[in-house]
Amino acid sequence: MAVGISTQEVNNALEQAFKATPPTTSRLYTQLKQTRRIQPKFHVTLLHKAGSKEHPELWQRYAALQKEAEAAGDPEGKVGECDVMLERAVFDDRIMAIVVRLADQNDQWQCVNRVAHITVGTRDDSVKPKESNDLLGRWLEVGSSLETKIGEVVFEERPTLKGTVAPVLSKF
């Protein structure tokens, strides 16, 4: 289950955040753009099928919501809405992710990842998008600096985007 958000709005926020940064900071972002390695669609994963055994109640709740949406005839499988606040881009020389906050008034949606995020892009096919979890884990433990080789750029405006909650690739 994931929260899909507007590609154009995420790209605009990234452009705004990186335009005033020095080339050393924007190097990966520029590379991702020039090599067309930025994801074509953005989402925040709430719960992946691989996590269903660790979070069985949540998996069952999300699966039931999907079945309701299918029974109601929603062709896109939309099960709800959730706003997403963009906080900061975190990156190394291989992968970039945006740390987000689920702005869910009713606390209906839970993200089981250690850090809720959007994977922006990867340097090449050898870097898998799920590695953003590893990057963000390192970032939490050692922070961003020249020594850690992890960079970050804060979204000063902290834009909040409208999101649509739906299953990813119908893996439920």
Report pLDDT for 170.
43
Range from 69-73, 93-97, 135-139, 148-152 carrying the lowest mean pLDDT: 69-73
| pLDDT tens-digit map of 1-48 | 999 999 999 999 999 999 999 999 999 999 999 999 999 999 999 998
What is the per-residue pLDDT across 22-33, written as a single tens digit (0 to 9) for each?
999 999 999 999
Q: Which helix (H) or strand (E) holds 88?
A: strand 83-91
Selection from 5, 3, 23 nearest residue 153 by Cα: 23
Is the pLDDT reported for residue 135 higher than 60? yes
CB 14 within 8 A of CB 29: yes
Say how far apart CA 39 and CA 36 lie, in whole Å. Answer: 8
- The whole-number pLDDT of residue 84 equals 98
Confidence of residue 169 (pLDDT cuts 50, 70, 90): low
Q: 3-state class of 167 per DSSP?
A: coil
Ordered by where they begin, the domains of the chain are 2-166 (3.90.1740.10)
